[in-house]
Amino acid sequence: MLRHIRTPPMLQIKSKEAQPPPPSLDHNTTKSPLKSNGSSKNTSLGAVMVFIARATDLMDHPYPNASLTSIQVHEYLRNLLVMTSTEHRKVYNNLGGRPHKIQTIIQPSNHRLPSNGRVTKFLAAALADARDTKTECIFVLYNWDGWTTDYSTIIEMSAQHRDVPFSLHVYAKGHDVPREFYEADGHKVAEYFRHRENISQESLADDRNTVLFIRMIEALHNLHNQVRIPLDIRRDLVRYDCRFL
């Protein structure tokens, strides 16, 4: 079922004198907005879930004429993820009692995330946790490019964790369409970008959402690079992302 979500509450804009030092570019926290009803043991707690939202820069927010600090933009992104987690729970239930992880990013999506950076290490640790507890890792993204549209970043994350079931749940809104979730196979996405294989290959033939994720990442990669996208492709993709209007 498709669901509408409420607009995040307006942040309180404080004076610059009252602001603490800004966090690092890839500020993150592992504290969950959800209450866990599971036991303290990691085994049998379900999938390792990481909710991820990204802003391109400090102006990437819906507050007109507001000048936000990096702390406030991260707060805005965390508010989005709290609502995303609520909607995700309605669709998928709790998927176990493990505390959820949150990652917020302020960086253009086409920029490569450094392999030794805090964001990459944080996400890799989540996949390693899934490996250690023999479960799946799910990245829940707010928007198709909520994590990255850099192909190398996706390839490297998958390559180091090929033995871990790795899924992407994307919470996206199309033109005149409420937000809904789309599922994709993270390893299949990485394999496509690694080998540039035909999107109609057998391994993807029956996985429409993974094919859609690949198409969206390619199109958004071009959009962010100001590469012209043919009108027929924009018309096809605008139902999944209103930025293609």
Domain positions in the chain are 22-244
In tens, the pLDDT along 120-130 reads 999 999 999 99
- pLDDT on residue 202: 67
143 backbone φψ class: left, alpha, beta (φ>0; ψ -120 to 50): left
pTM of the model: 0.81
> Within 13 Å of residue 9, how many CA atoms lie on the same side as its CB?
6
In tens, the pLDDT along 3-22 reads 443 444 434 434 333 333 33
In sequence order, the β-bridge partners of residue 48 are 137
Element (H, E) at 237: helix 231-237
- pLDDT on residue 201: 65
- pLDDT on residue 197: 59
- Token reading at 22: 């800004």
Q: Positive or negative, the Cα torsion across 92, 93, 96, 101?
A: positive
